[in-house]
Structure 1
Amino acid sequence: MTRERINAEWVFAPNTQAVCRALTDGGAQALFVGGCVRNALLEVPLRDIDISTDAVPERVIELVEAAGLKAVPTGIAHGTVTVVAGHEGFEVTTFRRDVATDGRRAVVAFSTEVADDAARRDFTMNALYARPDGTVLDPLGGMPDLEARRVRFIGNAHDRLHEDYLRALRYFRFHAWYGDHDAGMDPEALAAIGDALDGLDKISRERVGHEMHRFLEAVNPAPSVAAMRQCGALGALLPGADDRAMAPLIHLEGEAGVKPDAARRLAALGGGWVAESLRLPKAEIKRIDRIRTAAEEIQSPEEMGYRLKADARDGWLLRCALTETPWHGEDGLAAGRAARFPLKARDLMPDLQGPELGDTLERLENLWIASGFTLTRDELFAQRG
């Protein structure tokens, strides 16, 4: 099973090794697993360090506390204990095997075999483990898939999807982040996803929103989103979503030199209603709707810069993508963001009050914007009516 060794700095960091020693000194296994191993082999950044063990949660707590570390039972019913070493948290999870699944959650039993733990994972590239010295273990033969950047379900794709339908969306996310776009997608996986569309409405909106957010943070998710549409998954998860602006938007992001932004890309799929259906935070829903609405309105770069401030570039990028025009208008956006309306409500009081005050202030602001921000306070005051 040994195929390779990882030499990432985090493997040999004092805190990491302290957690591993606490387990191994007590006779338990300690294996790095999943994303941290995958990303180390691909030499890309990782989010978390996950450790798998044959020790049951109560034994894990006993061992790490005996070693002077802190144990937090964050998911003890599912076998997970968060071990804190030097103010750094590590999730330590007991080997598991599925007992029953319903497409949304699994009933699990603890196991002492790494093969059982590997078999219940989603993709072969995520079923890679490593010992504390960095030696990689490949119980299911996932290394060739990782080397080819091929996202492939473990075993039968239909079975994996019926265990958890969210894996359909995870498949596209992993292809966007780690797949070979030129080689295309696994036909068996796409066929299985197409057959499982009826099960996608069983997934909670919160889980879909979290997964979609991470998916759209990839450098170029456009091919994966297009494949989602083609197999019917996009329509099943987000009815009415339209990805036609996605590829042009991502091309323009490159021209403008901006980083991937999930909110901007959700705006490209449809705007606020998409965000609401994903149960995203209210502040983000408002931002997404603001970007989409501005992109669809007839505004100059200057006006968009003034009205949207920090979100102006996002709105203008989407405008260019929707209208299939080259990236331009950076100077106008900057001028709008810097502009400050010279009139205040108190300048028109007490002559104007209530709705009349608001209407007049809005009219004068529109005149000021149309002038290219050149009308002075006195000139605007003279036109107050």
Structure 2
Amino acid sequence: MTRVTGDWIKMPAAQAVCEMIAQAGHQVYFVGGCVRNDLLGAPISDLDLSTDARPEQVIKIADEAGMRAVPTGVDHGTVTIVVDGHGLEVTTFRKDVETDGRRAVVAYSDRLEDDAHRRDFTMNALYAAPDGRVIDPLGGLADLKARRVRFIDNPGDRIREDYLRILRFFRFHAWYGDAAEGMDAEALAGVAANLGGLETLSRERVGAEMLKLLAASDPSTAVGAMAQIGVLGSILPGADPRALPVLVHLEAQRAPDPLRRLAALGGGEVADRLRLSKRDRKRLALMRDAMGSTEGAGELAYRHGANLATDVVLLRAAQTGGQVHAGVWSEVETGAQAVFPIQPADLLPTHTGPALGAELRRLESLWIASGFTLKREDLLP
């Protein structure tokens, strides 16, 4: 029998919630990402519980046990129980009654199997009892072992329940799939038949999903498949995935940076189409502008900082398919630490007004061209 064995399932807060619900006569299981990632040996960030108890019952049970219950998503069957500073989401078994591709009308159920069938991929329909025993109602264990991302039942039906599942399919393949084995053919056919549904999604949801996808260790296979099947062009017209695998290679030993990878894809109106935050918009614009400038690595670091210069060095090399020469990083470090030795007062009264600004720019250009080596006395007459 397969079991999950991570320390997370032994957490006193998690076990206390499970015991509380079970003692009230209800089923309770861990579900989804915590079970999947435990079996993969991947990090676990959130613990989710699934139960046949209705939300109002969960709240009543928690109140009687002296635990705090917060109706964080009670309309969707979710209650968050807070124990010792830990919040655990407890969601009632559900089954879909009606969907329109963006939201579903659901009914509560007493059966774990109903709950499993409304999930997206078989690897996400794995449950674990409080003692660690894994319950696999839909064959997710075999798919997980093979690192095969497979829709539950008919892919087209699952996609039409929520068109964001198109992007989730590629994201999950990037994170958990076996690139060497390729993608599930039925899933790709379902995606191709439902591309129009992407237009119904909010830009915020698309943007969040794309950034999660690009944060995978190597998303290039998934993004390449998105381009071939028409998904990438639908959400980012003009985007080109060819530089992405080169960038991923050049990024070796660096943490994955989804925004840098987004810059490598190109395309028009990216910030608007993905509804990026103001901070991300600014950084993306800086990267894309600097990629096309004539500024060297040192000057970029001097004007914008070492991080932006590093981004641009890698992006330029990825675009050309070239390598990054070892000396460029010392240029970046030097530029980031450089301080222009001339102050406006040094040029007064000989230069004033617009002439002062022009002279400062001229001297700064000479100083940058020297590799930041010219000193104050070298620049002043």
State the TM-score, normalizing by the size of structure 2: 0.95
In structure 2, the CA distance between the partners of 1:158 and 1:363, relative to structure 1 (3 Å rule), is same
Instruction: State the one-letter code of the partner of 1:283.
Output: R
Q: Tell me how far 1:24 sits from its aligned partner.
A: 1.2
Q: State the 1:355 CA deviation.
A: 5.1
The residue aligned with 1:313 is: 310
- Aligned-pair identity (%): 56
Deviates more, 1:125-134 or 1:300-309: 300-309
2:336 aligned partner: 337
Query: Is the alpha carbon distance of 1:68 and 1:363 closer, same or farther for their aligned partners in structure 2, counting shifts above 3 Å?
Result: farther
Alpha-carbon distance between aligned partners in 1 of 2:2 and 2:26, rounded to the nearest angstrom? 23
8 Å CA contact 1:157, 1:189 repeated in 2: yes
Q: Give the Cα separation in 1 of the matches to 2:60 and 2:378.
A: 77
The Cα of 1:21 is off from its aligned counterpart by 1.5
Go from structure 1 to structure 2 and tell me whether the alpha carbon gap of 1:106 and 1:355 turns closer, same or farther (over 3 Å shift): farther
- Inter-partner Cα distance in structure 1 for 2:229 and 2:139: 28
Contact 2:204 2:274 in 1 (8 A): yes
Please list the CA deviations of residues 137-188 of structure 1 after superposition, one character each: whole Å capped at 9, or x if unmatched. 0111111101100000000011111111110000000000000010000111
Q: Tell me which residue corresponds to 2:149.
A: 151
| Whole-angstrom distance in 1 between the partners of 2:366 and 2:139 | 67
Contact 2:29 2:127 (8 Å CA) reproduced:
yes
SS at match of 2:50: strand
Map 1:1-385 to 2 at 5 A.
3-254=1-252, 257-270=253-266, 273-309=269-305, 310-328=307-325, 329-345=328-344, 347-348=346-347, 356-382=355-381
Give the counterpart letter for 1:276 in structure 2: D
What is the rounded CA distance, in whole Å, between the counterparts of 1:347 and 1:98 in structure 2?
74
* Residue pair 1:121, 1:127 contacting (<8 A) in 2 also: yes
What one-letter code is carried by the residue in structure 2 that aligns with 1:296?
A: G
Residue 236 of structure 2 contacts residue 268 of structure 2 at CA under 8 Å; is this kept in 1?
A: no
Q: Could you tell me how far apart the structure 2 residues matched to 1:62 and 1:322 are?
A: 59
Mean Cα deviation higher: 197-206 or 290-299: 290-299
For the 8 Å contact 1:99–1:106, the answer to whether it is kept is yes
Counterpart residue identity of residue 369, structure 2: A
| Structure 1 range deviating more: 315-324 or 336-345 | 336-345
Distance 1:14 1:103 in 2: 39
2:134 is paired with a residue whose SS is strand
Give yes or no for contact 1:28–1:54 (8 Å, CA) kept in 2.
Answer: yes
Structure 1 unaligned spans of 5+: none
**Does the aligned pair in 2 maintain the 1:272–1:288 contact within 8 Å?**
no
Query: Shift in Å at residue 81 of structure 1?
Result: 1.1
Distance 2:354 2:46 in 1: 54
The answer to whether the 8 A contact 1:83-1:90 is kept is yes
Q: Is the 8 A contact 1:271 1:288 kept in 2?
A: no
Q: For the Cα contact (< 8 Å) 1:32–1:129, is it kept in 2?
A: yes
State the AA in 1 paired with 2:10. F
Distance in 2, matches of 1:361 and 1:224, equals: 49
Q: Is the 8 A contact 1:271 1:292 kept in 2?
A: no
Write out per-residue CA displacement over residues 305-326 of structure 1, whole angstroms, 9 at most, x where no aligned residue.
Answer: 2223122211111111111111
Find the aligned partners of 1:150 and 1:261 in 2 and give their Cα distance: 25
Q: Distance in 2 between matches of 1:121 and 1:345?
A: 65
- TM-score with structure 1 length normalisation? 0.94
Describe the shift of the 1:93–1:317 C-alpha distance in structure 2 as closer, same or farther (beyond 3 A): same
How far did residue 292 of structure 1 move?
2.3
Separation of aligned partners in 2, 1:345 and 1:115:
74
CA displacement, residues 14-41 of structure 1 (integer Å, 9 cap, x when unaligned): 1111121221121122210111100001
| CA deviations over 1:181-228 (Å, ceiling 9, x no partner) | 100001111111111111111111000011111111100000000000
Task: Tell whether the 8 Å contact from 1:272 to 1:289 is kept in structure 2 after alignment.
Answer: no
Q: RMSD of the TM alignment (CA)? A: 1.7
1:348, CA displacement in angstroms?
4.7
- Is contact 1:272–1:286 with CA below 8 Å preserved after alignment? no
Range moving further from structure 2, 13-22 or 360-369: 360-369
Q: Output the CA distance in 1 between the equivalents of 2:349 and 2:183.
A: 67
Distance 1:358 1:271 in 2: 36
Note closer, same or farther for the CA distance 1:137–1:322 as it changes in structure 2 (3 Å cut).
Answer: same
| Deviation of the 1:350 alpha carbon | 6.9
Alignment size in residue pairs: 378
C-alpha deviation, 1:340, in angstroms: 1.6
How far did 1:275 drift? 2.8
Q: CA separation of 1:76/1:358 partners in 2, compared to 1, >3 Å: closer, same or farther?
A: farther
Aligned-partner residue type, residue 288 of structure 1: L
Distance 1:358 1:94, change over 3 A: farther
